[in-house]
Structure 1
Amino acid sequence: METISFGTDGWRATLDEFTAPRVRMVGQAVATYLADEGHEGPVAVGYDARETSRGFAEELTRVLCANGFDVLLSDRDRPTPLVAHAIVDRGLAGGLVITASHNPPAYNGVKFIPEDGAPALPAVTDAIADRLAEPDPLPEAEHGTAREVDFAGPHADAALELVESITGTAGLAGLTVAYDAMHGSGRDTTDALLERAGATLERSRCERDPEFGGGSPEPAAVNLAKLIEVVTADGSDVDLGIANDGDADRIAVVTPDRGYLDENLFFAALYDYLLEDASGPAVRSVSTTFLIDRVAEAHGETVHEVPVGFKWVGEAMADRDALVGGEESGGFTVRGHVREKDGVLMALLAAAMHAAEPLDDRVDRLLETHGTVVQDKRSVACPDDEKSRVLAALEDVIPETVAGTAVADVNTADGFKLQLADGSWLLIRPSGTEPVLRVYAEAADDERVRALLEAGEELVEPLV
């Protein structure tokens, strides 16, 4: 039980720790939690494209059924946001997804999604952790039933309806999109949705490969070289490139002029686009660009900053009736959809935005209006059990200046965010999914960002 720990987005571990007996304990804990909370409705179970995921999903299904719950098991590996949508769409008690998202194939994971379709808050995951136990089946006559269902169709219908309500049309006729599934669960889901909307698709890595081609299904620029080349090549007839991570809850966008479009810039373009015909605040994580704030101010709106983790974004979106919520890692959702990041929906919305006006043109206009913004991050290795000690030690050595600029304010909502007098910032926080400390920086140019990142590393490395 001590091995099972729910971090930023569920419990993830390498397969020597992520074992069937422990997965069954999680299933029992969820069943006990749901029963204690008075939930009697069906539970959704989904899974990603990893070799072990279907088997672990079946283990969860057996435990839930043995506790009296009916289970809707995904008919194949599907994106995590499809399960979140199914929970709300079908009025389910909640759901479980077997996925390690962008982690390497040696990992797997499990996350619980409550009845509202938003990521589980710590009060919920703590309650589940407190109930970890060996399976305790009811008499067989009281067992629930399991059946396989298609989560893709209803989600696609909802995505098309929502994007049409935002843009006036979800039609993408005449648009050519290059899509890279990275061998993950977005294949035959994201590309199928874009094609249904009328786009012409050029597919890459849209075959299931549990080893993800020998890498990690992380849609960072370094892993998307082929997609970038296809979109930016001279004479290319591709209008836009889109990629998803392993469980397709995140999106990466590639444009003809910029190549890999920084997620912060996409977020700013998305919010600016939505504000053309709607109103409302934005929610962003502490590691996400201040450019969102500048866009909001220009439209008379506000921004709410939350700790890293989409659970906090989802919570604030409900509390503030936000128009959009997102993180610099490429996770976004919009008002009218489930409060879980959804790389499938965002692929359709990004394509519709680009069809209305090239994303490069919108981003150029935003940067001309609000100033250039550059952001980057690095990682410093740190064992999970050392993170609290290092952060406590860091509190005692926060400097008065960083890279020659005075520290104007210190935000401790998630680690330490040092806001500097020139408008730049440095953030040091613990990763919730990997044994590292993250060092983020934002400034007006690359050279300044590098200086801030180096200062951050110099600050934290002696403490590890």
Structure 2
Amino acid sequence: METIRFGTDGWRATLEEFTTPRVRMVGQAVATYLRDEGLEGTLVVGYDARETSRGFAEELTRVLCANGFDVLIPERDRPTPLVAHAIVERDLGGGLAVTASHNPPEYNGVKFIPADGAPALPDVTDAIADRLAEPDPLPADDHGSVREVDLTTPHADAALELVAAITGGVDLDGRTIAYDAMHGSGRGTTDALLERAGADVECLRCDRDPTFGGGAPEPAPGNLEDLVDRVTGDGEATLGIANDGDADRIAIVTPERGYLDENLFFAALYDYLLEDDTGGAVRTVSTTFLIDRVAGAHGEDVHEVPVGFKWVAGAMADHDALVGGEESGGFTVRGHVREKDGVLVALLAAAMDAAEPLDDRVDRLLEAHGTVVQNKTSVPCPDHEKARVIDDLEAEIPDSVAGTTVEGVNTADGFKLALEDGSWVLVRPSGTEPVLRVYAEATDAERVGELLAAGEALLEPLV
């Protein structure tokens, strides 16, 4: 169906379009795809904290079972990375997660996760989209079974083992961490993992609210004011952690900086990992060049990919990368499932901060490699117009942006204009919302504002 489009991270839509009959068609398409490819095995269906997610997950489960597949389902909403981990840990045939991630409560979504636990690439999602059809059940005797399972304990065990191997041991005894679940699926998962490691956890918004308090479960600075106050104020918390709605992304709050820019956290994470290990990094085109400077200081390589963690995951496998990430707060590390995991990285961030305050590490990195500031904005654009606008933009690429010469153009994902002063501006279509994104990076916020304005001005006559 034309209304079902698999974007950067699955199919998301408002509940006007994301309906039970269409969800059932996706379930049938996945079953048909797996059968056609000769892929067998038990599947898992997870879901987030939205009002409709459990019901949609049950519909998917019914369709898959009617097509002969055994299906596992968690006892309650759980983070998407736990679904990906279960696929690999239990050697399953794949799985589905019903989630709209950080989108507002009037949205829902579904993503297919293949047997390797990494996000599905376009050849897979295209093949699924080509098979959209009404459910076609097998005879009742051939139906599969459904069973509720614990996805949390195996993931927590694996996270503790991996972080202990990286850090030499995980001991958060005596440390107080403020955790904001934003009413999402991280509640009772991320905080429980931190407590298992010995931390005292102060919970914010760790109750289930399918409306997410009336907003979007997006861990952006404007949505985390209480968490920032808890860490930068007179309280006992020395670190703040937040997850988005399905806990595949993370935000960090520190005593000195408050909200820690995700790019700076990525650089700090990579720098920390390189203390006792080797390997390159994978970053998206919208992620800071600071990663490249950290890599260069250690003689390592950086691999730039389009936006979307599926590309990060693929490049991590191709290059045996030590870490992969994106500026929106999605990260994973070598030795773990190749899917962004805000639960695992929460534990890793806490262990890093226990070894050395994150503020101190970031200070050292900026002193060594220079200040970096990044921001982004959005320009409304209907989905059906995005390709046309990007095509038209090719003929409008200027020789200079905001008074600085364009030194190079990267077309891996939209247009990224590298300027001779080391700054850059990127224009690309969002894969999850009806907007075009404009990103910019420079040495100070004023310059970033100028670059963003220039990027918007490029788009105005085309949209």
Is TM > 0.5 for Structure 1 vs Structure 2? yes
Q: Which residue of 2 aligns with 1:222?
A: 222
Indicate whether 1:59 and 2:59 are aligned. yes
Indicate whether 1:312 and 2:294 are aligned. no
Q: Which residue of 1 aligns with 2:384?
A: 385
CA distance in 2, matches of 1:76, 1:237: 31
Q: Quote how far apart the aligned CAs of 1:236 are.
A: 2.4
Q: Which residue of 2 aligns with 1:342?
A: 341
Q: Secondary structure at the match of 2:460?
A: helix
CA distance in 1, matches of 2:37, 2:347: 36
CA distance in 1, matches of 2:421, 2:235: 41
Indicate whether 1:410 and 2:409 are aligned. yes
Indicate whether 1:274 and 2:273 are aligned. yes
1:232-271 equivalences under 5 Å are 232-233=232-233, 235-271=234-270
Indicate whether 1:376 and 2:411 are aligned. no
1:64-79 equivalences under 5 Å are 64-79=64-79
Q: Secondary structure at the match of 1:56?
A: helix
Q: Secondary structure at the match of 2:388?
A: helix
CA distance in 2, matches of 1:348, 1:38: 38
The unaligned stretches of length 5 or more in structure 1 are: none
> Partner letter of residue 353 of structure 2?
H
CA distance in 1, matches of 2:109, 2:379: 23
1:44-443 equivalences under 5 Å are 44-233=44-233, 235-443=234-442
CA distance in 2, matches of 1:299, 1:389: 42
Indicate whether 1:459 and 2:454 are aligned. no
Q: Deviations over 1:254-300 (max 9, x none)?
A: 00000000000000000000000000000000000000000000001
CA distance in 1, matches of 2:174, 2:364: 24
CA distance in 1, matches of 2:102, 2:341: 14
Q: Quote how far apart the aligned CAs of 1:370 are.
A: 0.2
Q: Deviations over 1:322-377 (max 9, x none)?
A: 00000000000000000000000000000000000000000000000000000000
> Partner letter of residue 261 of structure 1?
L
Q: Quote how far apart the aligned CAs of 1:37 are.
A: 1.4
Q: Deviations over 1:292-327 (max 9, x none)?
A: 000000001000000000000000000000000000
> Partner letter of residue 358 of structure 1?
P
The unaligned stretches of length 5 or more in structure 2 are: none
> Partner letter of residue 196 of structure 1?
R
CA distance in 2, matches of 1:36, 1:166: 41
CA distance in 2, matches of 1:171, 1:101: 30
CA distance in 1, matches of 2:90, 2:237: 37
Indicate whether 1:8 and 2:8 are aligned. yes
> Partner letter of residue 286 of structure 2?
S
CA distance in 1, matches of 2:49, 2:461: 39
CA distance in 2, matches of 1:446, 1:243: 24
> Partner letter of residue 109 of structure 2?
G
Q: Secondary structure at the match of 2:396?
A: coil
> Partner letter of residue 37 of structure 1?
E
Displaced runs of 4+ in structure 1, greater than 6 A? none
> Partner letter of residue 82 of structure 1?
L
> Partner letter of residue 149 of structure 1?
V
Q: Secondary structure at the match of 1:462?
A: coil
CA distance in 1, matches of 2:135, 2:250: 37
CA distance in 1, matches of 2:26, 2:411: 32
CA distance in 2, matches of 1:64, 1:41: 12
CA distance in 2, matches of 1:50, 1:462: 38
1:29-40 equivalences under 5 Å are 29-40=29-40
Q: Secondary structure at the match of 2:316?
A: helix
CA distance in 2, matches of 1:27, 1:190: 29
CA distance in 2, matches of 1:343, 1:199: 17
CA distance in 1, matches of 2:429, 2:263: 20
> Partner letter of residue 357 of structure 1?
E
Q: Quote how far apart the aligned CAs of 1:175 are.
A: 1.1
Q: Quote how far apart the aligned CAs of 1:388 are.
A: 0.7
RMSD (Å), alpha carbons: 0.4
CA distance in 1, matches of 2:455, 2:339: 31
Q: Deviations over 1:119-173 (max 9, x none)?
A: 0000100010011100000000000000111100100000000000000111111
CA distance in 2, matches of 1:181, 1:188: 9
CA distance in 1, matches of 2:129, 2:283: 28
Q: Deviations over 1:93-131 (max 9, x none)?
A: 000000000000000000000000000000100010011
Q: Quote how far apart the aligned CAs of 1:57 are.
A: 0.2
Percentage identity across paired residues of the two chains: 79
> Partner letter of residue 282 of structure 2?
V
Aligned residues: 463
> Partner letter of residue 434 of structure 2?
P
